[in-house]
Amino acid sequence: MKAEKIWMDGSFVDWDEAKVHVLTHALHYGSGIFEGIRAYKTEQGTAIFRLKAHVERLFNSAKILKLEMSYSRDEIFQAIVETVRVNRLDSCYIRPLVFRGYKKLGLSPFTCPVQVMIAAWEWGAYLGEEGLAKGIRAIVSSWQRSHVNSTSAKAKLCANYINSIFANMEASELGVEEAILLDSNGYVAEGPGENIFWVKGGIIYTPPLSAVLEGITRDSVITIARDMGYEVREEFVARDVLYIADEAFFVGTAAELTPIREIDGYIIGSGERGPISTVVQEKLFNTFKGKEKEYLEWLDFV
Ligand code: PPE
């Protein structure tokens, strides 16, 4: 994973020179927020998917963590576009990060400067090409999502991802590709870096937005599925509902739409990518590539 330049605090620096001090506040306490965005190669050139929504969420996350941004939404939007352009990337993943830098250690963050960086690089299928086509295996993690009074799920906080990392390590040590986390009430919440959907009797379900990140892919999938005529419901359910679902899938910027074929050893549906997952995935992937006219407004061309 490498590209040429990284945008750091207002200017481009060489990839290998984008460095911070070891006493950076965020390195010790996770006091940062980030975004994950993808750009895709389309017939009309490289396009960034739902950039406005990602910039909006970045600013909301910054507000929740009280990180004063010295750039406007428009400046960050332009800097992200420029980062893709200067690196001459077509399909890529983009990672903006806003964090407390180095000045004085100790929990109180306010004396530490707010730093901003934007990197972009080529990143293929998050859970493997085969996973996109055939589905992956998952477990329900013994780690649960943090209670809404323990952290903010609305903010894409660096520190939140420790919870995700525990779940990820557990899944990989058990030999499956991904974990599913329950919320503090025991209901299905999301993956470590994905929202989750399942299908039962032709209806598509996903958990409500409470302890889960308000995913932009989640929103896109709900919109696309409803436009296709499917009913989409938001419901709190226990893990056993997943075991008897007809289909299940993860969605996220990195994971795109990845079917889940097995959960805790239970085969989901027919054990392969289900029919509704297949058509929604196809529509979503065509949308990314600018092939769906009705969703062209979601693309910003580089
Ligand atoms: N939940 C979580 C916890 C999450 O981190 C993501 C994105 C989502 C849901 C889906 O949100 P959206 O990308 O807006 O559809 N996870 C990012 C980081 C993954 C990583 O490994 O790093 C991502 O997909 O970019």
The predicted-structure confidence for 141-188, as pLDDT tens digits, reads as follows 999 999 999 999 999 999 999 999 999 999 999 999 999 999 999 999
The answer to whether 134 is a known catalytic residue is: no
Query: Of 5, 156, 283, 289, which one is the catalytic site residue?
Result: 156
- Give the total number of structural domains in the chain: 2
Residue 28 lies in a domain: yes
Task: Say yes or no: 75 and 175 in one domain.
Answer: no
Structural domain contains residue 266: yes
Give the residue, by CA position, lying nearest to ligand 1 atom 20.
193
* Domain-ending residue, one of 101, 121, 141: 121
Same domain, 87 and 140: no
- pTM score above 0.85: yes
* Residues 221-257: tens digit of each pLDDT: 999 999 999 999 999 999 999 999 999 999 999 999 9
Q: Examine residue 17 and state whether it is found in any structural domain, yes or no.
A: yes
Domain span at residue 213 reads 129-288
* Beta strands per DSSP E along the chain: 5-8, 11-14, 32-34, 37-42, 45-49, 92-100, 114-121, 136-144, 178-182, 188-190, 195-200, 203-206, 232-234, 247-252, 256-263, 266-267, 299-301
Residue nearest to atom 25 of ligand 1 (CA): 36
Residues 278 and 133 in one domain: yes
Ligand 1 binding site (Cβ under 6 Å of any ligand atom)? 36, 164, 190, 193-195, 213, 215-218, 252-254
196 domain-assigned: yes
Does residue 168 sit in the same domain as residue 265? Answer: yes
Report CA(182)–ligand 1 centroid distance (Å).
16
Do 149 and 245 fall within a single domain? yes
